[in-house]
Structure 1
Amino acid sequence: MNKPLILVTPTATALPQWEDADYAAVDGGLEILGAAGITPVFACGDFDSLKQPLQPDSLPVGCRILSFPAEKNESDSQLAIEEGIRLGYAPIILAGSLSGRIDHTLANIRLLSWSYPDLILQDDHQQMRLLQPGSHTVSSDWKHISLFALEPSCITLENMKYPLSRRNITPADIYTLSNEVAEGHREGTIVVHSGKVLLAESNLP
Structure 2
Amino acid sequence: MNTKLSIGLVGGAGRLPDLHSEHHHIWIGADAGALALASAGIRMKVAVGDFDSVSEEELITIRRYADQVLVYPPEKDETDFELAIRQAEEMGAADVAVYGVTGGRLDHELINIQMLYRLLDSFEQAVIIDWQNNIRLHRPGTYRIEQDDTYRYISFLSFSEQVTGLTLTGFKYPLTDASIHWGETLSISNELVAQYGTYSFASGIVIMIKSKDV
Scaled by the length of structure 2, the TM-score of the pair is 0.85
Residues 57 and 104 of structure 1: CA distance in aligned 2, closer, same or farther (over 3 Å): closer
Which consecutive unaligned segments of at least 5 residues does structure 2 have?
none
1:20 Cα deviation after fit? 4.2
Give distance in 2, aligned partners of 1:58 and 1:192: 44
Give distance in 1, aligned partners of 2:42 and 2:22: 14
Match of 2:70 among 63, 66, 72: 66
**Secondary structure in 1 matching 2:64:** coil
1:145 Cα deviation after fit? 0.7
Letter in structure 2 aligned against 1:21: H
Structure 1 residue runs of 4 or more that deviate by more than 4 Å after TM superposition = 53-58
**Secondary structure in 2 matching 1:176:** coil
Residues 31 and 166 of structure 1: CA distance in aligned 2, closer, same or farther (over 3 Å): same
Match of 2:29 among 2, 25, 29: 25
Q: Sequence identity, in percent?
A: 29
Give distance in 1, aligned partners of 2:40 and 2:61: 19
Give distance in 2, aligned partners of 1:133 and 1:100: 31
**Secondary structure in 1 matching 2:34:** helix
Partner of 2:163: 153
Give distance in 1, aligned partners of 2:65 and 2:11: 20
Q: Which has the higher helix share?
A: 2
**Secondary structure in 1 matching 2:85:** helix
Give distance in 2, aligned partners of 1:75 and 1:158: 39
Partner of 1:7: 9
Which consecutive unaligned segments of at least 5 residues does structure 1 have?
none
Matched, 1:204 2:198: no
Give distance in 1, aligned partners of 2:31 and 2:201: 36
1:55 Cα deviation after fit? 5.0
Alpha-carbon RMSD:
2.1
Correspondences of 1:177-192 after superposition (within 5 Å): 177-182=188-193, 185-192=194-201
Match of 2:92 among 88, 94, 102: 88
Letter in structure 2 aligned against 1:122: I
Match of 1:137 among 132, 144, 152: 144
Residues 6 and 45 of structure 1: CA distance in aligned 2, closer, same or farther (over 3 Å): same
Residues 46 and 98 of structure 1: CA distance in aligned 2, closer, same or farther (over 3 Å): same
Contact 2:38 2:61 (8 Å CA) reproduced: no
Give distance in 1, aligned partners of 2:102 and 2:127: 11
Residues 34 and 58 of structure 1: CA distance in aligned 2, closer, same or farther (over 3 Å): closer
Scaled by the length of structure 1, the TM-score of the pair is 0.88
Matched, 1:104 2:111: no
Contact 1:47 1:54 (8 Å CA) reproduced: no
Matched, 1:173 2:175: no
1:173 Cα deviation after fit? 2.1
Matched residues, number: 202
| Structure 1 range deviating more: 117-126 or 100-109 | 117-126
Matched, 1:79 2:83: yes
Give distance in 1, aligned partners of 2:66 and 2:154: 39
